[in-house]
Structure 1
């Protein structure tokens, strides 16, 4: 409210200034859209990468299941003899399994075989959590983008804590 005797002058912003403000707003909107798309791409890649191992670890119906007794380990893979849980069918004599899910030679693990391969995927809680490790990593990376690029700090904290919890739970399940 103006004081008595004082006149206020309202002036319109120039056309150039309004265009500049619109361009800056469009630039910010574009930046946020690009960062959000990159974060979504990271999450989709984590799910895609995890699903090839998570599907046989979680959905074992119709798959060949059994126990692998680890005989020898290389840099990334361990191999061992496979004892099927049910009789019948054509089961491989030797199965290879990711070295990260074993304790070394002599370890006996419940596995499900990927269809058409001699590759076993550990089943049970430890196998399922290990299968989703790439998603946990992508959640951590996406949290950095959400915090830094989108300035959504609470969402970033939740995303990062979910990723860290998934990685920690996988580590704990495989260790203990």
Structure 2
């Protein structure tokens, strides 16, 4: 019975980590430059509750766009320029650089924090849980400081 319980708790922790990693990878691959998309800068013109938008100027080849949008939380104030990579949709951008990469991995950081609670409370692997929790907290603090 103990083996089944530990197996189920390990599976829950693994599912949390995979879900957080999968969610983060959707934006992180563009922020880290793994996916070969257009890179350039956006001058933030306006922001609403969720997204900021502005004109896109490509680096090298590519076409300029009148308006692309990126997440408001990853955007600086209006009038500032930020380096971005375009997602496949073409009108959505992901911030690049250290701030963009850290912001993209925030869902994984949250998954690390949640999984650390399962690992500490259920599996009683306290050192592993501390490592996971501190790593998740460091990612969250790093993203908050970098933005």
Give the shorter-chain TM-score range.
over 0.9
Q: How does 1:24-63 map to 2 (within 5 A)?
A: 27-59=1-33, 62-63=36-37
Distance between the aligned counterparts of 1:112 and 1:124, measured in 2? 10
Distance between the aligned counterparts of 2:102 and 2:41, measured in 1? 19
Corresponding residue of 2:83:
110
Residues 28-67 of structure 1: CA distance to partner in whole angstroms, max 9, x if unpaired? 1111110100000000000000001000111256311111
Contact 2:43-2:79 at 8 Å conserved across structures? yes
The aligned length equals 147
Residues 93-148 of structure 1: CA distance to partner in whole angstroms, max 9, x if unpaired? 20001101112211210001012321111111110011000000000000000000
Shift of 1:76: 0.7
Look at both structures and tell me which one has the larger radius of gyration over its CA atoms: 1
TM-score normalised to structure 1 length = 0.80
Q: How does 1:16-31 map to 2 (within 5 A)?
A: 27-31=1-5
Residues 9-43 of structure 1: CA distance to partner in whole angstroms, max 9, x if unpaired? xxxxxxxxxxxxxxxxxx11111110100000000
Match of 1:153 among 108, 112, 126: 126
Corresponding residue of 1:141:
114
TM-score normalised to structure 2 length = 0.95
Could you tell me which runs of 5 or more consecutive residues in structure 2 were left unpaired when the two chains were aligned: none
Corresponding residue of 1:77:
51
Task: Give every structure 1 segment of 4 or more consecutive aligned residues whose post-TM-superposition deviation is greater than 3 Å.
Answer: none
Partner SS state of residue 45, structure 2: strand
Q: Which has the higher contact order (CA 8 A, sep 6+)?
A: 2
Could you tell me which runs of 5 or more consecutive residues in structure 1 were left unpaired when the two chains were aligned: 1-26
